[in-house]
């Protein structure tokens, strides 16, 4: 999260503006689409649920009509004289009983003629002894229906309807329900007979056939024990008592609810058939209901994508028009910060950004003038400091060499004194170099050769010299009188104190960016604490430390702090003094920016 936040803050103002605008549009359109889909789905589900309630009402009305017709038929039969005589007559006269049975059959045939085929399936009349009379449609199955007597006798006083789906009668393969009534003799108080009106499954299915919704919708009818009776216009014997949607449907609900059935979201609506204790359940996949809604949502997505594309284009255009001036100002300030002091911002408008740009241009111009002024002052100051340092080192060297000439004269070595004086004159002639501070390395080599000539006379072979300078660096530039103090330091403070013969070696070479000059001796070396004090710019009044510090100061004043003198020294082994100056330096005209930034 922090990485994303950092990336966001690194974006330009225009990109931030465009990003936020696009993000707001995308979130708004997605939110709007989602809200529309949710409301559309909710509306469709409510409409479908209400539609199912109407279907349930129609099914309930049809069921109530069956119940009412059954009650009417049972009442008519129970009050019929022929049926009552059949129930009450206990005569053992077979002929008389046969006559009574025929009379009841006539009454049942009358009902078959009076009521259409879809009114009921069959009627059976039983006396208290189990003798039975049936309607014409089932008289051929009397032995099967005779088995209902015991069931009716045991349930007639407690139930008005038998669930034939759950009833197991040998050789009886029908499904449905049956209305049962008993006839009680009010004189004796005993039950004298029973009536069973059968309603088979096809009659019941005709009441629910309109409940199926669409191509994938379904319905089922089940009892409150979880046993299904009818499913999609067919008999069903599946147990659904543990299904979540069934447990919910068994309660009285005014609205539907969405459940997931076999991995698919389905709308469930339900209603109760009270007299049978059955529940009607409508099942409709939400996907089918939302087909039209999905089309609308897809259209909204396409329109949203077009709006986002157009909005993106407009937001980018607006962002660049608003932040373009700021971007140009920021880029110019960045160039200015990198050292491009002549950078300025074009002013297009007189708004707030234009005012900022104008003030920045004024500030940049003033800074440029101040930098040029400081540069001029520093350059003059540097020249003065170099001249002062140069003036200090020349008397120092002259003092030492004149002491040597004086000593030769005292020793009456006139020829050697003449040679030394000639070498001194050549040395100073070369050192003056028309007042220039920088000289080519080849001129510096001539200087140290004259100096070495002087020292050879003084020490009469006690010191050996070796000069090995690469030809490629002889035209490179160096501050004059740089090597001579180093050689002097090697002689006076390194080799002079030795009893053995000393050697001074001068080498020079170049790498990719630097010219390196190295003066090496095999003298007594410099103690570490003194070396550290010298290299840190300290001066303890000793001549050798004065000379080294002077060389370091002059080199860094001219070439910058990345260059100058380094010393490596090991007591009783010798000293290595290394000079580093920039390669390809153009002489007096080159500006040393590192000095001014230092």
At residue 418's C-alpha, the angle toward residues 417 and 423, to 5°, is 95
CATH number at residue 478: 3.30.565.10
Q: Is 338 domain-assigned?
A: no
Q: Are residues 297 and 280 in the same domain?
A: no
370-384 mean pLDDT: 71
Assign 313 a pLDDT band (cuts: 50, 70, 90). confident
Q: Are residues 449 and 493 in the same domain?
A: yes
Which residue blocks in 491-572 are alpha helix, DSSP H? 528-535, 543-559
Q: What's residue 362's pLDDT?
A: 83
Q: What pLDDT does 400 receive?
A: 66
281 falls within a domain:
yes
Same domain, yes or no: 186 and 271 = no
Residue 354 counted as domain residue: no
Helix (H) or strand (E) holding 504: strand 502-510
**Half-sphere exposure in the Cβ direction for 55 (13 Å, CA):** 22
SS3 content of the chain, % helix, strand, coil (to 5): 55, 20, 25
Q: How far apart are CA 552 and CA 489, in angstroms?
A: 14
Residue among 472, 480, 473 nearest 443 (CA): 480
Token pair, residue 144, equals 């099967």
Could you give the CA distance from residue 547 to residue 5 in angstroms, rounded to a whole number? 58
541 and 436 housed in the same domain? yes
Task: Residue 462: count other Cβ atoms within 10 Å of its Cβ.
Answer: 16
Are 456 and 384 contained in the same domain?
yes
Residue 479 sits in the same domain as residue 550: yes
Whether residue 66 lies inside any domain: the answer is no
Overall average pLDDT of the 523-537 stretch: 77
In a domain, 224, yes or no: yes
Q: Considering 176, 205, 234, which residue would you say is the last residue of a domain?
A: 205
Both 423 and 558 in a single domain?
Answer: yes
What is the domain extent for residue 12? Answer: 2-58+291-332
Q: Are residues 51 and 85 in the same domain?
A: no
Q: Is 90 exceeded by the pLDDT of residue 508?
A: yes
469 φ, ψ (degrees, to nearest 5) = -115, 125
Ranges 52-61, 473-482, 511-520: which has the least confidence: 52-61
Average pLDDT over every residue of 535-553: 65
- Please indicate, yes or no, whether residues 181 and 302 belong to a single structural domain of this protein: no
Residue 120's Cβ-count burial label (10 Å; 0-12, 13-18, 19+) is buried
DSSP for 328-378, please give it: HHHHHHHHHHTT-TT-------SSHHHHHHHHHHHHHHHHHHHHHHHHHHH
Nearest to 485 by CA among 425, 395, 381, 570: 395
Q: What is the CATH number of the domain that holds 173?
A: 3.30.450.20
Cα separation, 93 vs 99, in Å, equals 10
31 and 122 assigned to the same domain: no
- Other C-beta atoms closer than 10 Å to the C-beta of 396 total 16
| Structural domain includes residue 154 | yes
pTM of the predicted model over 0.75: no
Q: Is residue 562 part of a domain?
A: yes
In-domain check, residue 109: yes
Q: Which of 172, 205, 238 is the last residue of a domain?
A: 205
Residues 479 and 524 in one domain: yes
Whether residues 381 and 507 fall in one domain: yes
Per the structure, how many domains does the chain have?
4
Of 304, 332, 360, the one marking the end of a domain is 332
Question: What digits encode the pLDDT tens for the residues 414-464?
Answer: 777 787 787 777 776 666 655 577 889 998 898 888 888 877 877 777 889
| CA separation, residue 437 to residues 375, 385, 413 (Å) | 19, 11, 35
Instruction: Round to whole Å and give the CA distance between 136 and 124.
Output: 10
Between the two ends of the chain, the Cα-to-Cα distance in Å is: 41
User: Would you say residue 178 has pLDDT above 90?
Assistant: yes
Task: Tell me the pLDDT band of 596, cut-offs 50, 70 and 90.
Answer: very low
Strands of 176-184's sheet, edge to edge?
A: 132-134, 122-127, 191-200, 176-184, 161-163
pLDDT of 275-299, one tens digit each?
888 999 999 888 877 776 667 767 7
């Amino acid at each position: 999260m922090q990485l994303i936040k950092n990336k966001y803050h690194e974006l330009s103002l225009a990109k931030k503006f465009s990003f936020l605008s696009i993000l707001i549009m995308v979130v708004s359109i997605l939110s709007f689409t989602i809200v529309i889909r949710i409301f559309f789905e909710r509306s469709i589900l409510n409409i479908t649920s209400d539609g199912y309630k109407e279907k349930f009402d129609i099914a309930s009305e049809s069921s109530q009509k069956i119940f009412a017709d059954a009650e009417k038929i049972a009442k008519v039969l129970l009050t019929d004289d022929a049926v009552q005589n059949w129930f009450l007559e206990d005569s053992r006269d077979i002929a008389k009983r046969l006559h009574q049975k025929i009379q009841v059959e006539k009454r049942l045939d009358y009902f078959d003629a009076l009521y259409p085929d879809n009114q009921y399936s069959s009627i059976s009349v039983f006396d208290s002894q189990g003798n039975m009379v049936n309607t014409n449609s089932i008289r051929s199955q009397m032995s099967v229906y005779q088995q209902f007597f015991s069931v009716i006798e045991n349930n007639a006083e407690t139930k008005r309807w038998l669930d034939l789906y759950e009833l197991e009668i040998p050789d009886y393969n029908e499904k449905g329900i049956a209305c049962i009534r008993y006839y009680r003799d009010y004189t004796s108080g005993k039950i004298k007979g029973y009536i069973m009106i059968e309603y088979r499954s096809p009659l019941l299915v005709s009441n629910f056939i309109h409940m199926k919704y669409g191509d994938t919708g379904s319905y089922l009818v089940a009892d409150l024990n979880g046993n299904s009776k009818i499913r999609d216009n067919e008999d069903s014997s599946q147990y659904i008592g543990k299904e979540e949607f069934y447990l919910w449907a068994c309660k009285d609900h005014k609205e539907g609810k969405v459940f997931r059935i076999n991995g698919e979201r389905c709308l469930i609506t339900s209603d109760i058939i009270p007299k049978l204790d059955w529940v009607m359940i409508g099942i409709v996949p939400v996907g089918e209901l939302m087909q039209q809604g999905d089309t609308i949502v897809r259209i909204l997505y396409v329109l949203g994508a077009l709006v986002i594309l157009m909005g993106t284009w407009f937001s980018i255009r607006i962002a660049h028009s608003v932040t373009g001036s700021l971007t140009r100002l920021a880029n110019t300030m960045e160039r200015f910060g990198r050292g491009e002091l002549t950078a300025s911002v074009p002013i297009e408008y007189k708004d707030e950004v234009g005012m900022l740009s104008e003030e920045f241009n004024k500030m940049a111009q003033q800074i440029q003038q101040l930098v040029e002024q400081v540069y001029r002052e520093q350059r003059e100051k540097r020249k003065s400091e170099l001249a002062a340092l140069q003036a200090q080192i020349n008397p120092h060297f002259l003092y030492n060499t004149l002491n040597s000439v004086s000593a030769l004269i005292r020793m009456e070595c006139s020829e050697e004194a003449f040679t030394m004086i000639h070498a001194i004159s050549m040395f100073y002639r070369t050192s003056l170099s028309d007042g220039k501070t920088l000289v080519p390395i080849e001129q510096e080599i001539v200087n140290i050769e004259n100096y070495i000539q002087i020292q050879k006379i003084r020490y009469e072979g006690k010191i050996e010299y070796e000069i090995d300078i690469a030809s490629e660096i002889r035209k490179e530039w160096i501050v004059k009188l740089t090597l001579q103090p180093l050689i002097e330091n090697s002689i006076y403070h390194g080799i002079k104190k030795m009893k053995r013969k000393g050697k001074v070696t001068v080498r020079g070479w170049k790498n990719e960016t630097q010219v390196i000059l190295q003066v090496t001796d095999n003298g007594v070396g410099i103690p570490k604490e003194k070396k550290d004090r010298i290299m840190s710019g300290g001066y303890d009044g000793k001549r050798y430390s004065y000379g080294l510090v002077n060389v370091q100061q002059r080199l860094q004043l001219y070439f910058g702090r990345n260059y100058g003198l380094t010393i490596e020294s090991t007591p009783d082994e010798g000293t290595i003094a290394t000079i580093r100056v920039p390669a390809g330096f153009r002489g007096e005209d080159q500006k040393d920016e590192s000095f001014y930034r230092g």
